[in-house]
Structure 1
Amino acid sequence: MQRIDRLESRFAMHDLVSDYCHGFDKRDFDRFLAIWWEDCVWEIGPPFGRFNGHAGINEAVKDILWPAWLKSTHCTTNLRVNFTDDDHALGVSDVDCIGTTSDGQAQTVAATYSDVFERRAGVWKIVRRDVKMHHFSPLVGITLEAPA
């Protein structure tokens, strides 16, 4: 039974990581917020900072990040999950993001996400995400547009 539980848990964590990307990029705040426990910490680091709880997530997304990005596409890969017990796990994954900033500048970001997943009352969510930026760079002279 533990093997089946671990498989189901891994799929649940994979969905959380995917819903982070889909929620953010498609501007679906309810989907994005649903991945986080109320007492979560989202440590984005420079240049953005640390955000606590659902109120912090709301501030980060609606007041800082979405106004800064007209469009974005996150691609999260290499998710590795290590269980610390039946209801707690650590995850690490890499992300590449490309987008257009509010001033029309094409931008690329590469980072690593370090997650703390926790299961409460049978539901997995993220209780902490630390973001380590590897680069945050403009793509000078490039305009990102949908194909004609």
Structure 2
Amino acid sequence: MSESPDFAQRLDRVESRFAMHDLVSDYCHGFDKHDWDRFSAIWWPDAVWDIGPPFGKFEGSEGIAHVTKDILWPAWLASSHFTTNLVIAFDGDDRATGVCDVDCIGTTADEQAQTVSASYFDRFERRGGVWKIAHRKVKMYHFNPLPGVTLSAPE
């Protein structure tokens, strides 16, 4: 029995979805664990990361490295991102869009517990057989301190 083109395309879509899910997860793990190799591997060199207020828009590998290493990581003592509800839509064989929700809890450099709720709007592109993020727009719903709350590891 020969493989139909429809089956091959469906299999490619399944594999592609797994690859995009991994990108979304590697964003969280890379950022939270300050693992630059993992974090930087999710972006195309010409990617745009539009974090929005109060941070801004960062373009290309250098811009993303700058905001991550020089602004965000020093601002957060610890963070834990939790992404859910990833919905992917294909715009062809090598392009797709995705949207997911994210909640982040952490402690900023001033030792203030914070909570952030947002959505990530992604454009994924496959180049040379590899999926990566070409554009990520962040829409924040809240970014608030948790007064009187101290986040600490269990003793």
Q: Is 1:90 aligned with 2:82?
A: no
Encode CA deviations 1:28-74: one digit per residue, 9 max, x unaligned.
01100000000000000000000000001111101100010000000
Distance 1:147 1:130 in 2: 35
**TM-score scaled by length of structure 2:** 0.95
Encode CA deviations 1:64-85: one digit per residue, 9 max, x unaligned.
0001000000000000000000
Letter in 2 for 1:125: K
Distance 1:126 1:34 in 2: 9
Q: Is 1:144 aligned with 2:134?
A: no
Letter in 2 for 1:16: L
- % same residue: 70
The alpha carbon displacement at 1:91 in A equals 0.1
The alpha carbon displacement at 1:87 in A equals 0.2
Q: Which residue of 3, 12, 17 maps to 2:19?
A: 12
The alpha carbon displacement at 1:144 in A equals 0.1
The equivalent residue for 2:55 is: 48
Distance 1:23 1:42 in 2: 15
Distance 2:54 2:10 in 1: 41
Distance 1:104 1:88 in 2: 41
Query: Aligned residue pairs: how many?
Result: 148
Stretches (4+) displaced over 4 A: none
The SS at the match of 1:140 is coil
Unpaired segments of 5 or more residues in structure 2?
1-7
Distance 1:48 1:140 in 2: 22
The alpha carbon displacement at 1:147 in A equals 1.1
**TM-score scaled by length of structure 1:** 0.99
Aligned-residue CA RMSD in angstroms?
Answer: 0.3
Distance 1:5 1:134 in 2: 34
Letter in 2 for 1:61: T
Letter in 2 for 1:139: L
